[in-house]
Structure 1
Amino acid sequence: MRYLVWILRLVIFVIVLLFALKNTAPVDVGLFADHVLSQVPLIVVMLAAFVLGVAFGLLMAATSMLRRRREINRLRRELARVQDALDHPQAASAPVIPETVAPLAPL
């Protein structure tokens, strides 16, 4: 299985390398405020777009992961509190009469 993964990685690397070698033509990149970068290789532009996309995707995923991590920690604390309550039950000093908790309505 490990060899299959390495072969797959090698094939993907070769395909990306051939793609990069075929896309070396210089292009003009227009930025904000009429600023133009001239004669930039197309593969550099594509690589920059890919890196920015990956960074943005990781940023979006990080917020979701942090939210889940907080929820997991909250649930672990609650589980520990309930487990502690089950392990050490409180001894009732006096029996609770239902009328003292909520008065019953007359029939």
Structure 2
Amino acid sequence: MRYLVWILRLVIFVIVLLFALKNTAPVDVGLFADHVFSQVPLIVVMLAAFVLGVVFGLLIAATSMLRRRREINRLRRELARAQDALEHPQAASAPVIPDTIAPLAPL
């Protein structure tokens, strides 16, 4: 399985490399306020768009990852408290006998 993954990665890399080599033509990139970059290679523009997409994707994924990490830490603390309670039972866990017994309510 490990070799299959590496072969797949190599195939994808070769396809992306060939795509990059076919798209080296210079293009004009227009930004806001009529600011234009002239003669920028198309592959640079596509690479910049890809990198920005990856960065935004990671930022969005980071929020859920942090939420999961907080939940895992909370559950670990709760588990440690429960294990501690099992290992060291309190002396007050003996049944409490009241001085008087309340009568049962009639049905």
**The two structures share one fold, judged by TM-score above 0.5:** yes
Q: TM-score range by the shorter chain?
A: 0.7 to 0.9
State which drifts further: 37-46 or 87-96: 87-96
CA distance in 2, matches of 1:54, 1:5: 21
Once the 2 structures are TM-superposed, how far is the Cα of residue 96 of structure 1 from its aligned partner?
2.5
Name the residue aligned to 1:15: 15
TM-score by length of 1: 0.82
TM-score by length of 2: 0.82
CA distance in 1, matches of 2:4, 2:20: 24
Identity of aligned residues (%): 93
Q: Alpha carbons of 1:99 and 1:40: their partners in 2 closer, same or farther (altered >3 Å)? A: farther
Once the 2 structures are TM-superposed, how far is the Cα of residue 75 of structure 1 from its aligned partner?
0.7
Unaligned ranges ≥5, structure 2: none
CA distance in 1, matches of 2:102, 2:16: 74
Q: Alpha carbons of 1:97 and 1:23: their partners in 2 closer, same or farther (altered >3 Å)? A: same
Q: Alpha carbons of 1:77 and 1:45: their partners in 2 closer, same or farther (altered >3 Å)? A: same
Q: Alpha carbons of 1:54 and 1:99: their partners in 2 closer, same or farther (altered >3 Å)? A: farther
Cα root mean square deviation, aligned: 2.9
Unaligned ranges ≥5, structure 1: none
Once the 2 structures are TM-superposed, how far is the Cα of residue 94 of structure 1 from its aligned partner?
7.1
